[in-house]
């Protein structure tokens, strides 16, 4: 990667008061511009904490994080969050605002003109395949998949370069989850985003990632392309790969039998 | 139409208007204080605990007591302000009522605002931070809108409480729908009592529903219900303002304590002033201490007092000299201390007196208080709320060595029937009360003169001391009303005739 790294995490530790084991322990990670990186780990592995450190919803106990080459602590956290897209696990749409208002929130905070906001909202509703007629609806009137599409649109609204996603699709049914993940991957490519997604589902990671990072008990135990990870020796990584492998083998054998 | 109902209806604009204004001012003040307090304390646990405890504590004080407490407090503040800045303010009526009611309204607003904001899903708050909102933006754009239904419920509760409790501001001199209730209770005019209750309840319910409509309009962004609710509230406020705007000057203010005799006499005074073309206003239902202080401060211009009350309560005297001497000393004291003019005695006295059912007294062979000494341990006694705390009761107990096993306090309206039904043996009656004759009671002699004389006297504030016109209008009332005439008038009110009608009959009868 010749370009400067979009995100660089250097020797980061995070401890919480009253808990002996650090949530994150000596994390080293670089995310290149336009890279799609997926962090895989079980619950409690520290993956959400890692994500929150990047847009300063939380601060590291030790170590340094740079965003676009600038030390994160030198940036105004509010400013940083406004130009970083964030998709939440629980969706986190504001229930008292319409879909259009939810999407418009960050541009509005940034003081965009109304015309520009309206145009951007319509554009995004198209990009996430909802259509302009969804604008006036309220979150409570949407399905889970539709809601998360709005969540993605809201994260992209202020034209961020970096998008952080905290298990964005894990609450959805497999079909919807896959459709959304593929749609997002397409957006990542066309909009030339830098994306960092966290998930506990290796299958999902394999489907979209340029690079996968495996987190276990606050430490990075493996990192590499999906292909490289399939050959990885680490016990935990092999364990994680078992399920996708089994599914692949089963599907292959079924296809080999000529059953359609 | 029942004349009592028509009478109540005629007073509605004044009572309703004042009730709405005092409630509105209290609610606005309460909101202006509690809302920022709740917001400020939502992330400060110590302040929050302090605010919640303090506002809860206020709720434990009975409404009437809270209102009453503000009067002496403000009186002190007014005196201080007079000394410090040479500028005083009225400690009576509007101000203490608004302050006490505002304090009363705080708990539901504070508690619901805090609870409402606490109850928001933490994921939503995280999302607000995540999209780049500042603390302030999170509060204004997310927390408050989402907590709005709960906050609105708090405001509705507060408004119902305030409108209901405002009826209790009558005794501290604030006209309200409570005037119907207090006056009605004293004159046994149940139509008036009911009218006041229904009016206050209707107002409270209407405001509650209109606020609910506004709340729904805000949360559901329904402009129509927002406008409808707002228009309804505006209508109530305009209706309240109309009579108060047209009534520019208050003219002479005549005070009355909360019982029938006072209402009759205040009307009598008012009628005399009116026929001479003067504007008059009434301040009804004031307690003994409140009414005297109000006269001393010039907030009312005249009222009928009883010499013994000034003698014992204000002058703190325990000796009981002759009727003439008490009158003379009271007059001198009032003039020296407050510049108050004692115009003269009306001609009758309304003293406390121990009374028994005539037949019962005959059975027991009781004619004077002295006879009660040996009987008291086996008898029960009842008095009004003031009586057992008054110095003359202590004096009677001491002079005659009485020790009743039980002292029961009750409203005068229930005291007379109770003694007639032999539920109590002795009551502290009033000598001018028509019910002494009606219930065939025997007033016991006071051979040791433990009870001071209670001549009805007409007092005029220092402010009007040089108002010849005013004094001339009142002068003819001195020595004009006999005990018999007053008893009869009181009895007529007890029988259901309005104090106004009785006052007119009395005026004719005494030729004034």
Residue B237 falls inside a structural domain: yes
Is residue B450 very low, low, confident or very high in pLDDT (cuts 50, 70, 90)?
confident
Same domain for B136 and B241, yes or no, is yes
Residue B88 falls inside a structural domain: yes
Among B308, B283, B317, smallest CA distance to B15 is for B283
Residue B260 corresponds to which tokens in the numbers above? 């029938």
**Cross-strand partners of A13:** A62
Least CA distance to A84: which residue of chain B? B131
Whole-angstrom Cα distance, residue B30 to residue B110?
Answer: 10
Residue B490 falls inside a structural domain: no
Same domain for B82 and B223, yes or no, is yes
Same domain for B318 and B256, yes or no, is yes
Contact A121, A100 (CB under 8 A): yes
Same domain for B37 and B120, yes or no, is yes
Is residue B406 very low, low, confident or very high in pLDDT (cuts 50, 70, 90)?
confident
- A81 to B132: CB separation less than 8 angstroms, yes or no: yes
CB pairs < 8 Å spanning A and B: 52
Render pLDDT for B4-28 as a digit per residue (tens, 0 to 9): 787 788 788 888 988 999 999 999 9
- B136: number of Cβ within 10 Å: 8
Contact B26, B164 (CB under 8 A): no
| Closest chain B C-alpha to A107 CA, distance in angstroms | 10
Helix (H, G, I), strand (E, B) or coil at A45: coil
Same domain for B310 and B224, yes or no, is no
Residue B137 corresponds to which tokens in the numbers above? 């933006």
Residue B29 corresponds to which tokens in the numbers above? 């003040």
Same domain for B126 and B205, yes or no, is yes
Contact A4, A52 (CB under 8 A): no
Least CA distance to A78: which residue of chain B? B132
Same domain for B270 and B399, yes or no, is no
Residue B382 falls inside a structural domain: yes
Least CA distance to B149: which residue of chain A? A96
pLDDT score of A2 more than 50: no
Strands A62-67 and A7-14: antiparallel
Out of A78, A91, A94, closest to residue B132 by CB: A78
pLDDT score of A18 more than 90: no
| Closest chain B C-alpha to A53 CA, distance in angstroms | 12
Same domain for B42 and B162, yes or no, is yes
Q: Backbone phi, then psi, for A54, in 5-degree steps? A: -70, -40
Whole-angstrom Cα distance, residue B317 to residue B320?
Answer: 8
Write the CA distances from A4 to A164, B180, B477, integer angstroms.
19, 82, 103
Task: Look up the domain containing B420 and give its range.
Answer: 352-443
| Closest chain B C-alpha to A194 CA, distance in angstroms | 17
Determine the residue among B124, B128, B132 to mutate to test chain A binding: the one whose Cβ has the most chain A Cβ atoms within 10 Å.
B132
Residue B164 falls inside a structural domain: yes
Percent above pLDDT 90 for chain B: 42
Mean pLDDT of A243-251: 86
Q: Tokens 């032999």, residue?
A: B422
| Closest chain A C-alpha to B231 CA, distance in angstroms | 25
Least CA distance to A156: which residue of chain B? B131
pLDDT at A4: 63
> How many residues are given for chain A?
260
The average confidence (pLDDT) of chain A is 89
Contact A162, A168 (CB under 8 A): no
Whole-angstrom Cα distance, residue B67 to residue B169?
Answer: 7
Domain stops at, among B443, B472, B489: B443
Q: Which residues of B touch A140 (CB under 8 A)?
A: none
Residue B327 corresponds to which tokens in the numbers above? 């009158």
Contact A127, A186 (CB under 8 A): no
Domains of chain A from N-terminus onward: 7-83+161-256 (3.40.50.300), 94-160 (no CATH)
Residue A208 corresponds to which tokens in the numbers above? 């979209």
Q: Which residues of A touch B142 (CB under 8 A)?
A: 94, 96
Contact B104, B138 (CB under 8 A): no
Angle of the B499-510 helix axis to the B260-275 helix axis, nearest 10: 60
Same domain for B119 and B134, yes or no, is yes
Domain stops at, among B443, B472, B494: B443
Out of A82, A92, A105, closest to residue B124 by CB: A92
User: Model ipTM?
Assistant: 0.86
Is residue A257 very low, low, confident or very high in pLDDT (cuts 50, 70, 90)?
low
Mean pLDDT of B64-78: 81
- B146 to A95: CB separation less than 8 angstroms, yes or no: yes
Render pLDDT for B75-92 as a digit per residue (tens, 0 to 9): 788 778 878 877 767 677
Same domain for B310 and B241, yes or no, is no
Cβ neighbours for B434, distance < 8 A, ≥ 6 positions apart:
B487, B488, B489, B490, B491, B492, B493, B494
Same domain for B334 and B413, yes or no, is no
Q: Tokens 């400690």, residue?
A: B91
Which CATH number is B429's domain given? 3.40.190.120
pTM of the model: 0.73
Q: Which residues of A touch B124 (CB under 8 A)?
A: 92, 94-95
Least CA distance to A56: which residue of chain B? B130
Same domain for B16 and B146, yes or no, is yes
| Closest chain A C-alpha to B134 CA, distance in angstroms | 7
Among B201, B241, B284, B250, smallest CA distance to B21 is for B241
**Cross-strand partners of B109:** none
Residue B180 falls inside a structural domain: yes
Residue B493 falls inside a structural domain: no
Least CA distance to A165: which residue of chain B? B130
Whole-angstrom Cα distance, residue B404 to residue B148?
Answer: 58
Render pLDDT for A29-39 as a digit per residue (tens, 0 to 9): 999 989 999 99
Render pLDDT for B324-338 as a digit per residue (tens, 0 to 9): 999 999 999 999 999
Helix (H, G, I), strand (E, B) or coil at B455: strand
Angle of the A99-109 helix axis to the A144-156 helix axis, nearest 10: 20
């Amino acid at each position: 990667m010749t370009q400067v790294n979009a995100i660089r995490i250097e020797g980061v530790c995070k401890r919480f008061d009253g808990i002996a084991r650090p949530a994150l322990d000596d994390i080293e990670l670089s995310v290149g511009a336009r890279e799609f990186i997926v962090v895989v780990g079980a619950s409690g592995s520290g993956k959400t904490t890692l994500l929150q450190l990047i847009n300063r919803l939380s601060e590291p106990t030790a170590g340094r994080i740079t965003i676009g080459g600038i030390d994160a602590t030198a940036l105004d956290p509010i400013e940083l969050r406004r130009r970083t897209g964030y998709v939440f696990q629980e969706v986190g749409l504001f229930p008292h605002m319409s879909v259009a208002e939810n999407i418009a929130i960050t541009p509005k905070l940034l003081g965009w003109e109304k015309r520009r906001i309206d145009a951007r909202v319509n554009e995004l509703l198209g990009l996430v395949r909802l259509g302009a007629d969804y604008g006036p609806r309220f979150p409570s009137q949407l399905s889970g998949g539709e809601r998360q599409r709005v969540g993605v649109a809201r994260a992209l609204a202020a034209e961020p370069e970096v998008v952080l996603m905290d298990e964005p699709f894990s609450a959805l049914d497999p079909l919807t989850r896959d459709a959304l993940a593929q749609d997002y991957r397409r957006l990542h490519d066309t909009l030339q985003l830098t994306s960092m997604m966290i998930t506990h589902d290796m299958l999902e990671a394999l489907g979209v990632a340029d690079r996968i990072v495996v987190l276990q008990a606050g430490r990075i135990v493996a990192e590499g392309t999906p292909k490289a990870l399939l050959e990885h020796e680490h016990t935990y990584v092999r364990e994680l790969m078992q399920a996708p492998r089994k599914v692949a083998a089963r599907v292959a054998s079924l296809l080999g039998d000529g059953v359609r | 139409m029942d004349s009592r109902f028509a009478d109540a209806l005629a007073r509605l604009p004044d009572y309703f208007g004042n009730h709405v204004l005092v409630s509105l001012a209290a609610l606005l003040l309460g909101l202006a204080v509690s809302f920022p307090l709740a917001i400020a304390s939502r992330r400060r646990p110590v302040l929050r605990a302090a605010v919640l405890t303090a506002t809860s504590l206020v709720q434990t004080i009975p409404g009437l007591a809270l209102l009453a407490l503000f009067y002496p407090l403000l009186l002190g503040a007014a005196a201080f302000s007079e000394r410090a800045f040479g500028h005083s303010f009225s400690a009576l009526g509007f101000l203490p009522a608004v302050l006490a009611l505002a304090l009363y309204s705080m708990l539901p607003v504070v508690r619901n605002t805090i609870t409402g904001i606490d109850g928001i899903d933490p994921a939503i708050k995280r999302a607000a931070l995540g999209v780049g909102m500042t603390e302030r933006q999170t509060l204004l754009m997310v927390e408050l809108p989402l907590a709005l239904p709960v906050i609105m419920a708090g405001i509705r509760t507060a408004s119902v409480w305030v409108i209901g409790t405002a009826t209790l501001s009558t005794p501290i001199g604030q006209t309200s729908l409570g005037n119907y209730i207090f006056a009605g209770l004293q004159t046994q005019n149940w139509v008036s009592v009911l009218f006041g209750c229904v009016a206050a309840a209707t107002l409270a319910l209407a405001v509650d529903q209109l606020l609910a409509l506004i709340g729904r309009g805000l949360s559901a962004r329904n402009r129509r219900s927002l406008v409808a609710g707002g228009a309804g509230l505006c209508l109530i406020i305009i209706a309240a303002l109309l009579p108060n705007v047209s009534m520019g000057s208050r003219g002479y203010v005549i005070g009355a304590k909360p019982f029938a005799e006072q209402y009759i006499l205040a009307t009598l005074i008012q009628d005399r002033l009116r026929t001479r073309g003067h504007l008059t206003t009434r301040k009804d239902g004031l307690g003994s201490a409140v009414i005297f202080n109000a006269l001393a401060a010039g907030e009312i211009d005249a009222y009928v007092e009883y010499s013994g009350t000034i003698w014992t309560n204000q002058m703190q005297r325990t000796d009981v000299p002759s009727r003439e001497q008490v009158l003379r000393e009271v007059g001198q004291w009032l003039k020296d201390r407050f510049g108050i003019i004692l115009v003269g005695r009306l001609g009758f006295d309304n003293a406390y007196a121990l009374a028994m059912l005539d037949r019962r007294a005959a059975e027991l062979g009781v004619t004077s208080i002295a006879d009660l000494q040996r009987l008291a341990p086996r008898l029960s006694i009842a008095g009004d709320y003031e009586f057992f705390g008054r110095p003359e009761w202590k004096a009677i107990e001491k002079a005659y060595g009485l020790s009743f096993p039980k002292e029961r306090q009750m409203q005068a309206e229930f005291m007379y029937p109770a003694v007639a039904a032999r539920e109590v043996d002795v009551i502290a009656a009033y000598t001018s009360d028509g019910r002494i004759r009606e219930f065939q009671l025997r007033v016991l002699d006071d051979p040791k003169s433990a009870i001071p004389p209670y001549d009805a006297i007409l007092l005029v504030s220092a402010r009007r001391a040089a108002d010849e016109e005013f004094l001339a209008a009142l002068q003819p009332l001195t020595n004009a009303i006999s005990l018999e005439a007053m008893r009869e008038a009181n009895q007529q009110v007890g029988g259901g005739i309005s104090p106004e009608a009785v006052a007119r009959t009395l005026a004719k009868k005494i030729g004034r």
